[in-house]
Chain A
Amino acid sequence: MNMIKLSWKYLIAKPLSTGLNILLLALGLAIITVLILIQDQFENKMTKDAEGIDLVVGAKGSPLQLILSSVYHIDFPTGNIDLKDAMALSKNRLVKNIIPLGLGDNYQGYRIVGTNHDYLALYSATFSQGIAWEKPFEVVLGHEVAEKIGLKTGDTFIGSHGIGSSSHEHDAHPYVITGILAPMGNVLDKLILTSIESVWYTHDEEHDHATHEAPVAKKGFPVTDQDREVTALLIQYRNPIAAVQLPRFINSKSALQAASPSFEISRLFELLGIGVKLIQGLAIVIIIIAGLGIFIALFNSLKERKYDLAVMRTLGASSWQLFLHIVLEGVILTILGAVVGIAIGHLFLVILVMQNDQGAISTLSAAVFLKEELWILGYAVIVGILASLIPAWNAYQTDIAKQLTKA
């Protein structure tokens, strides 16, 4: 026998009240756990995906949409821009490197991104199979794409128009897979990468076989005398002055829009933050109610237990042991609540991820444990102590003789 076992025995003697209190607290803490997990992973992922990209240039529209579509590949592009405008920009002395992107097609919902080899270098991509594209219609699959659609190097497929699944297929040219990326843990995992030229040629009405066999541009822009378009440009600054001058310069030119990923992301988090705060508030209200529930349960049980407490005193228990006995009950309850809550939170995330195998949520992982979750445990213990303090003090003051003489 020891103090923890003693408190535990009293808890399980009232399974309904104990279970309800644990569940209520667990619910509040589960919400907080999910919020922490999602927030942390989203922020991590979003920062990681935008690393090395100082500025994104695209067609006029919402700057946030531009960033989401061309950095994270989750929203629709704002439109296309003239290749000439893009190339003019690449001559600007404030620009260190420029990576063109051509979007617009997909295969089974996975976006086909026309770009050059600098895009691979930007994320330090490594291959698990094959090599990068060299000619038009050669593609490289992200790890997850390859896994989900079950294709390997040498296989071919036909892309569809549009960036979501559905819409009509291009009948002419199949893509040939030349390589598959190793798991990167970033946005590349969900992309099909190819050359700008591939994207252009799939949309052409006539097919010129000579150009289809010519090697594609591995750096910069493809050389062409035709009027061509790209969707967006990822720009790296040459120096800090560029951060001040370049966006202003580009935005003043009527056709183009420049947006900074870091600025737009922090704006997005600010917007999301309001929602997160609301849910957090709700969770805290639930936790407070759970704390009150524990307080009421202990306080009520104390009335019936005064006798038991007096008997314990006659058996040699000190006032402090009675105090500890009650506090332990509160703390055991809340620790169980926290453990169950954290477990429910992770389980919820597992289910959430299972139901969304594409899109932003599918990149989340439920198998991540954060040190913030230890804080949850800590807060729960504090709730337990606070809820049991007054009942414990009552127990401490038990008047033995009076309790025992009462009928």
Chain B
Amino acid sequence: MILRANNIEFYYDSKQKFKIPDINLDTGEQMLILGKSGSGKTTILNIIAGLLKPRSGKVEIGQTDIYALKGSQFDKFRGKNIGIIFQKPHILVPLTVEENLQLANFFVEENTHLIEPLLKELGIWDKRKAKINTLSEGEAQRVSIARALVNKPKLILADEPTASLDDENAASVVRLLQEQARKYGAALIIVTHDQRVKDHISNQIIIGGQL
């Protein structure tokens, strides 16, 4: 098992607790978390990603109980083992495409030599010196996928990666995510309410009731 998130409890307001199912994934396994807007998808993703401490329960990645990690150790672990793709591609604008990826390598103090192959596979190698604000939305989302993968994470988390894309781009982004996750042996969780994604991954859980 690469991910074990069992008996997680979380609430912002104790009167409104989230019902969070147990999530367990094997290496290379893929999963879709579906739910209405406001059902707590992002919240669950943040908890798994080590960004939001649950009120109770454990999140284990590999053999590590992540919320037991302290300070910069936790940050390095997160940077190394978890790749996150956000709904909007949050790429650092002052840096070029290539530098965004180099920065990810720098923060975990490891050169994975994946920048070139990743950018090539995602079809944005020509854009490596480009300014971020000249990229199309699809290109930008591919950059954020490349950046999430560049540290060779064990787990890839994507929060509504297709929400702002057209049908064609949406399909290609999901396909790329699946391909890359498989290629680097990472587990993949996609959180979405986008019906277009449903057919791509059969392993699905639904939170917050029926869609």
Q: Which residues of A contact B (CB under 8 A)?
A: 1-2, 6, 9-10, 12-13, 307-308, 311-321, 400-401, 404-405
Inter-chain contact A317/B107, CB cutoff 8 Å: yes
Q: Which of A307, A318, A401 contacts B75 (CB 8 A)?
A: A318
Inter-chain contact B72/A318, CB cutoff 8 Å: yes
10 sample A-B contacts, Cβ–Cβ < 8 Å, listed by A number: A311-B90, A312-B103, A312-B107, A314-B79, A316-B75, A316-B107, A318-B71, A318-B75, A320-B72, A401-B52
Residues of A with C-beta under 8 A to B99: 1, 9
CB within 8 Å of A: which B43-94 residues: 43, 46, 49, 51-52, 71-72, 75-76, 78-80, 82, 84, 86, 90, 92-94
20 further contact pairs, Cβ within 8 A, besides A308-B93, A316-B104, A316-B108: A2-B106, A6-B103, A9-B95, A307-B90, A311-B92, A312-B103, A314-B49, A314-B79, A315-B151, A316-B107, A317-B107, A318-B72, A319-B71, A320-B72, A321-B72, A321-B107, A400-B51, A401-B46, A404-B46, A405-B43
Residues of B with C-beta under 8 A to A320: 72
Inter-chain contact A13/B52, CB cutoff 8 Å: no
Which of B71, B103, B104: most chain A CB closer than 10 A?
A: B103
Residues of A with C-beta under 8 A to B78: 313-314, 316
Size of the chain B interface, CB-CB below 8 angstroms: 31
> Cα distance A401–B52 when bound, in Å?
6
> Cα distance A314–B91 when bound, in Å?
12
Which of B42, B43, B76, B78: most chain A CB closer than 10 A?
A: B78
What is the distance, in angstroms, from B148's C-beta to the closest C-beta of chain A? 9
What is the distance, in angstroms, from B42's C-beta to the closest C-beta of chain A? 6
B86's nearest neighbour on chain A, judged by CB, is: A404
What is the distance, in angstroms, from A12's C-beta to the closest C-beta of chain B? 8
> Cα distance A12–B103 when bound, in Å?
17
Asked whether B105 is an interface residue with its Cβ less than 8 Å from the other chain, the reply is yes
Inter-chain contact A315/B46, CB cutoff 8 Å: no
Inter-chain contact B107/A315, CB cutoff 8 Å: yes
> Cα distance A315–B108 when bound, in Å?
8
A308's nearest neighbour on chain B, judged by CB, is: B92
Asked whether B102 is an interface residue with its Cβ less than 8 Å from the other chain, the reply is yes
Inter-chain contact A316/B49, CB cutoff 8 Å: no
Inter-chain contact A315/B94, CB cutoff 8 Å: no
What is the distance, in angstroms, from B157's C-beta to the closest C-beta of chain A? 10
Q: Which residues of B contact A (CB under 8 A)?
A: 42-43, 46, 49, 51-52, 71-72, 75-76, 78-80, 82, 84, 86, 90, 92-95, 99, 102-108, 147, 151
> Cα distance A390–B94 when bound, in Å?
22
Residues of A with C-beta under 8 A to B51: 314, 400-401, 404
> Cα distance A316–B106 when bound, in Å?
9
What is the distance, in angstroms, from A109's C-beta to the closest C-beta of chain B? 58
Inter-chain contact B105/A1, CB cutoff 8 Å: yes
A8's nearest neighbour on chain B, judged by CB, is: B94
> Cα distance A316–B112 when bound, in Å?
14
Inter-chain contact B106/A1, CB cutoff 8 Å: yes
Residues of A with C-beta under 8 A to B82: 314
> Cα distance A308–B99 when bound, in Å?
14
Q: Which of A9, A321, A404, A405 contacts B94 (CB 8 A)?
A: A9
Inter-chain contact A315/B95, CB cutoff 8 Å: no
> Cα distance A57–B189 when bound, in Å?
97
What is the distance, in angstroms, from A14's C-beta to the closest C-beta of chain B? 9
Inter-chain contact A315/B104, CB cutoff 8 Å: yes
Residues of A with C-beta under 8 A to B95: 6, 9
Inter-chain contact B90/A318, CB cutoff 8 Å: no
A13's nearest neighbour on chain B, judged by CB, is: B94
Residues of B with C-beta under 8 A to A319: 71-72, 75
> Cα distance A311–B90 when bound, in Å?
7
Residues of A with C-beta under 8 A to B46: 401, 404-405
> Cα distance A51–B76 when bound, in Å?
67
What is the distance, in angstroms, from B103's C-beta to the closest C-beta of chain A? 5
> Cα distance A256–B141 when bound, in Å?
93
What is the distance, in angstroms, from B20's C-beta to the closest C-beta of chain A? 15
> Cα distance A139–B49 when bound, in Å?
91
> Cα distance A54–B106 when bound, in Å?
68
A400's nearest neighbour on chain B, judged by CB, is: B51
Q: Which of B75, B105, B108, B147 contacts A313 (CB 8 A)?
A: B75
> Cα distance A320–B102 when bound, in Å?
19
> Cα distance A312–B103 when bound, in Å?
8
Residues of A with C-beta under 8 A to B84: 314
> Cα distance A13–B99 when bound, in Å?
14
> Cα distance A316–B151 when bound, in Å?
10
> Cα distance A1–B42 when bound, in Å?
31
Residues of A with C-beta under 8 A to B103: 1, 6, 312, 315
Which of B43, B79, B105: most chain A CB closer than 10 A?
A: B79
Which of B43, B92, B147: most chain A CB closer than 10 A?
A: B92
Residues of A with C-beta under 8 A to B79: 314-317
Residues of A with C-beta under 8 A to B106: 1-2
